[in-house]
């Protein structure tokens, strides 16, 4: 069992070495080094439960907005609060590992709060990206205020309709046992 009381997969004896997984403090320190070198940092966030084509396209587009892409990953409890008791399908360590394996991702840190205000203020990204199904008006007011306070440019990446984790889960369930 993991610390949230959920049953772990049979592979629990495997350690997932993820050199791109940082604490917030480590990400902030790296951000400072990148700023000193004149490099633009892009920040995005999400659950990224089952990586699919929509996620990959979005992350590649976001990375093109700067010199380094950092992902604030919703922790398990946060994901469950947002998506329901059966989610996430993969735990935060597994999701962070998958994201860290992507060439377009420079760093991942896990956050457990419902909103990202404090993390935005700490990282102070040059650019903040969200998928195109969001608008400035749909962003959480606290997160939007944090972005404004650090002077971050807010970009909405193209949204590929039809690609979602919920749809992918439904397709897997419909396929039955393989």
Q: Indicate whether 17 belongs to any domain.
A: no
Q: Does residue 138 sit within a domain?
A: yes
Inter-residue contact 44 to 60 (CB < 8 Å): no
**Considering the domain boundaries, does residue 73 fall inside one?**
yes
CB 126 within 8 A of CB 62: no
Structural domains counted in the chain: 1
Q: What share of the chain is helix, strand, coil (3-state, %, to 5)?
A: 40, 15, 45
With a pLDDT cut of 70, the percent of the chain lying above it is 84
Residue 169: the pLDDT is 64
- How far apart (Å, rounded) are the C-alpha atoms in residues 23 and 20? 10
User: Other CB atoms closer than 10 Å to residue 69's CB: what's the count?
Assistant: 25
How many Å apart are CA 159 and CA 57, to the nearest integer? 9
Whether residue 3 lies inside any domain: the answer is no
User: pLDDT at position 5, please?
Assistant: 41
pLDDT in tens, 65-108: 999 999 999 999 999 998 889 889 899 999 999 999 999 999 99
Strands 41-46 and 21-22: unpaired
Cα distance between residue 178 and residue 34, in whole Å: 46
User: Shortest CA distance to 31 belongs to which of 70, 3, 57, 62?
Assistant: 70
In a domain, 107, yes or no: yes
State how far the Cα of 139 lies from the Cα of 102, in Å rounded to an integer: 26
What are the pLDDT digits (tens) for 17-51? Answer: 999 999 999 999 999 999 999 999 999 999 998 88
Residue 9 inside a domain? The answer is: no
Whether residue 12 is contained in a domain is answered as: no
CATH number at residue 95: 3.40.50.620
Q: For residue 65, what are the CA distances in angstroms to 130, 145, 152, 155? A: 12, 21, 12, 8
What is the residue range of 102's domain?
Answer: 22-175
In a domain, 16, yes or no: no
The 3-state secondary structure of 90-110 reads CCHHHHHHHHHCCCCCCEEEE
């Amino acid at each position: 069992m993991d610390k949230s009381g959920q049953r772990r997969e049979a592979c629990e004896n495997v350690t997932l070495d993820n050199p791109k997984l940082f604490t917030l403090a480590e990400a902030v320190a790296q951000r400072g080094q990148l700023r000193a070198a004149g490099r633009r940092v892009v920040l995005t966030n999400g659950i990224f439960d089952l990586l699919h084509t929509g996620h990959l396209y979005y992350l590649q587009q976001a990375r093109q907005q700067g010199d380094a892409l950092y992902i604030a990953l919703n922790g398990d409890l946060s994901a469950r609060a947002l998506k329901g008791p059966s989610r996430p399908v993969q735990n935060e360590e597994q999701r962070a590992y998958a994201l860290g394996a992507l060439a377009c991702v420079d760093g991942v840190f896990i956050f457990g709060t419902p909103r990202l205000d404090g993390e935005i203020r700490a990282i102070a990204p040059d650019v903040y990206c969200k998928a195109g199904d969001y608008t400035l008006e749909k962003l959480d007011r606290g997160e939007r205020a944090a972005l404004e306070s650090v002077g971050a440019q807010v970009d909405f990446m193209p949204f590929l309709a039809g690609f979602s984790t919920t749809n992918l889960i439904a397709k897997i369930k419909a396929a039955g046992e393989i």
